Structure 1
């Protein structure tokens, strides 16, 4: 299906990447289990929070190591699904799976305070959406896809900036929150607006924008980083991405832009409903400490941990 039968197990499932994620997952359970006693204020982590972390790691694996990742090198539509899974699904799930006492210990690290300004709401939104939009400028995208080291570094940077962006919405530490209910609503709309131009460019372009998905030679070079074998053999075997094409490059590109925008709208609309729900509860004196509105004092550093 979709041409997956032509690729090896290693190409489809990226065992090395899977091993790395399994080690990180094992480290998470050691941290919240045997090592929990070393943290101030540590408490038992509920099953639902552990489940969120596992779900996030699974989404990240599927997006960056599983079949979705491979298909993302063949179809632009799957590339956008991979991006959405990586930064709009996996990141918040992983963050929600980390207990507050781990976050507090992490934020005590002094070097992190130098970069606290990067988590300011407007800065974080501009960083993530700006880097995402820059990546999808055709010349930038094709360059990144053709240079493995740059590709990994750029994806890592997107991952970090997505954490900063999501921190403004799902930050579990009342002493570090900057946005109240109305501020979170505005922040959600800001992110929805900032991503629109990039998606609009992709959806309404009259021709295929990316050589990676339309030019056989460029496609084969990019595929060489995610499958085994000589890229030249890919051209001999398949002739180019058109071999797998159940959609034309232009339509595939449009589907990708629509899919990205739809997923983003759905996720942020869900967050909007969540914010309104807890905002309403707080206004009626029903909200609990974990989901209560921010209580940070003006002038506090956004990621600064207030001791005492």
Structure 2
């Protein structure tokens, strides 16, 4: 069983380690600067990133093999919900980091960049976590989060503020533009925010009794607070009457974006709408579990003869 838990953690980490360096973010060095339309300036492999596709396919195959070795799944099979959630999480990674989304994000189209980040921070992490077996959470709870200097990983409020502060500060204009000019720093920042997103999500998606002791009400409040904390950053982008990011002025003109300011405002709207949609689904799911738990009758205590 311990080997299964370690393997579960292994393929989870593999999700990050096997990806090409540039796929976590738009790469300023990959901007189109030649003749022709935007997509005509890239070879098909630069657009569709077959290396990323192969990496994700390997991760999914590894996932299936590990899941089938878990005793509870070896006979009954992998639950469809878990299988579908994990596959959808990997699909979200591919949609965000390859194809048209990656190309337009590479070329500083802010609205697409926001969509890319929303997929990586708000959509993908909960899907991956929902696809994980309970052995994964038990391993984290008993073998990782119990280590003295790692016990802070159990603190929901820390991850609530850390994730939202990192994501918000990243979009402060002068910070955003500085990071954009330094590719290695850009990759590090995206990986750090991505990890913080997983740590935020795991607080509410871990099975009951593992990782933390938050009640259903506290988990719903936690997700509501997430939505409130990211609102100022979204509002700054949406309601600004000037272009905040100089890089947006260099973005190519696309048929669905009239001006750079429209691109910026659309980006803020996408960031907020995707986040609200995902958080609302999670809050609704938690509420449903709460109501279901309240309706279930308590298991009566067995009575035993005296002396037993």
TM-score for the superposition, normalised by structure 1: 0.76
Superposed CA deviations along residues 172-222 of structure 1, whole A, max 9, x for unmatched, are: 2524332111101210111011000100111111211112221x4xxxxxx
Match of 1:65 in 2: 98
Contact 1:192 1:265 in 2 (8 A): yes
Deviation at 1:15, TM superposition (A): 2.2
Match of 2:133 in 1: 99
Q: 1:251 aligns with which of 259, 262, 271?
A: 262
Q: 2:247 aligns with which of 204, 212, 219?
A: 212
Give secondary structure in 1 for the equivalent of 2:214. coil
Residue 168 (str. 1) matches residue 203 (str. 2):
yes
TM-score for the superposition, normalised by structure 2: 0.76
Q: 1:134 aligns with which of 137, 150, 169?
A: 169
Contact 2:118 2:274 in 1 (8 A): yes
Deviation at 1:73, TM superposition (A): 2.7
Assess, with a 3 A threshold, how the Cα gap between structure 1 residues 286 and 63 changes in structure 2: closer, same or farther. farther
Superposed CA deviations along residues 13-68 of structure 1, whole A, max 9, x for unmatched, are: 122222322222222122223x546xxx7764312211110110010111123321
Match of 1:23 in 2: 58
Contact 1:51 1:97 in 2 (8 A): yes
Q: Considering Cα pairs closer than 8 Å and 6+ residues apart, tell me whether 1 or 2 has the greater RCO.
A: 1
Deviation at 1:8, TM superposition (A): 1.8
Q: 2:274 aligns with which of 263, 267, 281?
A: 263
Structure 2: where are the runs of 5+ without partners?
A: 1-36, 300-308
User: 1:190, 1:25 → 2: CA distance?
Assistant: 33
User: 1:167, 1:279 → 2: CA distance?
Assistant: 18
Residue 50 (str. 1) matches residue 61 (str. 2):
no
Contact 1:119 1:165 in 2 (8 A): no
Structure 1: where are the runs of 5+ without partners?
A: 217-240, 289-308
User: 1:259, 1:243 → 2: CA distance?
Assistant: 19
User: Which segment is superposed worse, 107-116 or 155-164?
Assistant: 107-116
Deviation at 1:243, TM superposition (A): 4.1
Contact 2:235 2:268 in 1 (8 A): yes
Deviation at 1:287, TM superposition (A): 10
Q: How many residue pairs were aligned?
A: 258
User: 1:118, 1:176 → 2: CA distance?
Assistant: 8
User: Which segment is superposed worse, 67-76 or 112-121?
Assistant: 112-121
Assess, with a 3 A threshold, how the Cα gap between structure 1 residues 280 and 151 changes in structure 2: closer, same or farther. same
Assess, with a 3 A threshold, how the Cα gap between structure 1 residues 14 and 101 changes in structure 2: closer, same or farther. same
Match of 1:77 in 2: 111
Assess, with a 3 A threshold, how the Cα gap between structure 1 residues 146 and 16 changes in structure 2: closer, same or farther. farther
Give secondary structure in 1 for the equivalent of 2:106. coil
User: 1:197, 1:42 → 2: CA distance?
Assistant: 44
Superposed CA deviations along residues 81-126 of structure 1, whole A, max 9, x for unmatched, are: 1111111111100111111113323444448733231341111111
Contact 2:138 2:210 in 1 (8 A): no
User: 2:261, 2:247 → 1: CA distance?
Assistant: 13
Match of 1:189 in 2: 224
Match of 1:301 in 2: none
User: 2:291, 2:197 → 1: CA distance?
Assistant: 27
